[in-house]
Amino acid sequence: MTTPTRFTQAALVGWDRDLGPDRLASETLESILAPVLRRLRLPKGVLAQLTGVNHRHLYPADSPTHGGGLNAARRLLAAFPHLVDKIQIHFSTSVGRDLLEPSVASTVSARLGLGPSVKNLDLGSACLGFIEAMELAAHLIEAQVLEYALITAGENSRPLLENTLNRLLEPELTARQFFRHFASLTLGSGGAATLVGPSRLHPTAPRIKAVVSLADTTANDLCQGDFSGMVTDAAQLLTAGVKLAQATFQLGQEKFGWLGTTFDAIICHQVSRANTDKLCQVLELPEARLLRTYPDFGNMGPVAAPFNFALAWERKLIGPGQKAIIMGIGSGLACSMLELEIPPNP
């Protein structure tokens, strides 16, 4: 399974998305953090100004981390009941998890009532996991060892956000420590599910056409997180991430002739305004073709890319006869870019 790779047999048969019901404004977070903002002499509105994130969504405190992915998967499978028994593998790509074991995939599969012949695997690659799972599913379909794969992801940022707020309110916190935890305040909550299957049986479904990916593991320490919180060197992460994305897109140019104008829709995992602006600038992507979701939803981790594709489809920003690129950068660092082609209406 090396990249770059062209595919001829895999398609996105169906998809669904979910969103945490509780909408939390950056202004509300700043009111909670008012004591530390005053002490560190940080201006009002600093969170939205520096990140571009105005709101993020959360699930209730008692919600399981995988809940959003489960919700999306239930609706997806209800739309394709005739394919449920044909699913052979389920990838859960969530970063957050309530337990170290069992696998999140096994828990979600049990709630969905999937059968004993389904292989359940957790696939982790930070914010890139969902795209990586789409690529793996396409490889398996191309090799004719798989017909259908279910991919899910669910993120509930409430516990990490609450832990971060408590840490930022500690009286001895320095400005450097504040900004090391700053990125945690942008995290949002949601879920996504996608069914990948053979294009020959779904002639109108978006085709997975090509993928390129690269890694820069020397940058693995720039964003690190666990159950208690996340620490980020935002400036270095931005520089290293965009550099890796530039090299990855260049690989797509060399192998597949990609240009920014090749794609009618640009779907990407979004962290903040600065990251998104820089990515568009360096890759020469037409900003009008990018659906910006970070202002209203924040950074939803691996949920972001499939969520954004579903939202773009609903808003008719992508449709029959068009091409899209789905891209992401995950801590580690890893970058993948996947080309989709939607067949024209018959």
Region for residue 5 given its phi and psi (left: phi exceeds 0; alpha: psi -120 to 50; beta: otherwise): beta
Q: Is 335 a catalytic residue?
A: no
Catalytic: which of 27, 30, 101, 339?
A: 101
Rounded distance, CA 128 to CA 125, Å? 5
Catalytic: which of 127, 223, 268, 335?
A: 127
Contact between residue 190 and residue 301 where contact means Cβ atoms under 8 Å apart = no
- Encoding tokens for residue 271? 């962290």
Instruction: Identify any residues that bridge with 322 across adjacent strands, giving them in sequence order.
Output: none
Catalytic machinery residues? 101, 127
